[in-house]
Structure 1
């Protein structure tokens, strides 16, 4: 999850610049999702109807469903920007850099920036969102679909072979577990700054395990 807004031009991380129409579409996605999340945080996911979200976003219910096929997608849109993040990192890595090394550096950079996707973020709005997400079974279940798409995108970036698919599954799992552990510790009262050194150590350990398994003999 990211607290960041949609990119203004879509040119970051190797994406081609978006057209004006595409930018407006992305802004609509963001505005509708933000309106929904505001209602979910105030009243609870299960107590807010799709019709109420549409009214809050000043659009019709059919229009809302054209953007978000399921109610859960309204809350999980913040993950959409991260679905192919690992794949983008691998694709855009510098020449001579191994995919795993690029992913490790990216995750460590995220920890340093306190990126919410790493779980190492104690901003009140991020904590509230995480509590909503992990406290709502329907959202947790829907999140697995996002993770599956992340895994598939990374597998394609790694070559689409069985070995690439196995590697992608392991990498996405390690990143998810690291982020989940950071979130758990912060939810129990740790601060992001206080936990940072341990989070880095855990990340280094996790990627070392991956390296020994994925970069060893085939």
Structure 2
């Protein structure tokens, strides 16, 4: 029975990714507003009702890559080794992302990644929808921070404020990296400043939260 559940889940994930990949390819080719949901369903070889079971809104088709990272910060805090503070764990994780040229850090010179970011930041409805994803990231992180006792004695509101600051810092760092690469610098040129900026940002967070 568990094997059947695992197979169904894998097929569901494959369908989810196939639909989104087809949608993003069309968005990059024609522009977000010029592609219909019916066109996406046809390209992915699924019905419109099936498409909407996986993606409630057209914007979600373009943002599944961010959905995959929604609870990432919370998971990093929850899984941190003993003796490592939440902020240290998050700082190290961000630096690891820079080292891997993870697109979520903005430090990627791959044309496909740059084109995707142009699509995202050039489409107001996608930017607006992205805030909803970031809101869920903040909620998950706030729970993890609260469980970790950060900020000390601040309660639920304090944890939410801390989570909002951390998610905002990560977003600003990533946007700055992307904008410099989009302007013509290479990932290698940007990387030293990206590492330094992350250090400064997390130092400021530590001084305020710890």
TM-score, with length taken from structure 1: 0.89
* Residue matched to 1:138: 125
Shift of residue 159, structure 1, vs aligned partner: 1.4
Aligned to 1:101: 88
Root mean square deviation, CA, Å: 1.0
1:63 maps to 50
Which of 64, 75, 88 is equivalent to 1:77?
64
Q: Which position in structure 1 is the counterpart of 2:172?
A: 177
The residue aligned with 1:123 is: 110
Number of equivalenced pairs: 198
Residue 32 (structure 2) aligns with: 45
Residue aligning to 1:163: 158
Structure 2 gaps, min length 5? 148-155
Aligned equivalent of 1:205:
200
- Work out the CA distance in 1 between the residues paired with 2:102 and 2:56: 27
What 5-or-longer segments of structure 1 have no aligned partner?
A: 1-17
Matched residue, 1:19: 6
Return the offset for 1:210.
0.3
CA distance in 2, matches of 1:67, 1:169: 28
Q: Which residue of 2 aligns with 1:191?
A: 186
The structure that is helix-richer by fraction is 2
Q: What's the TM-score once normalised by structure 2's chain length?
A: 0.92
Mean Cα displacement is larger for which, 19-28 or 191-200? 19-28
Deviations 1:180-203 (A, max 9, x none): 111111111111011100000000
Per-residue deviation, 1:121: 0.5
How many Å separate the matches in 2 of 1:93 and 1:74? 32
**1:156-185 CA deviation, whole Å, 9 max, x = no partner?**
111172211111011001001100111111
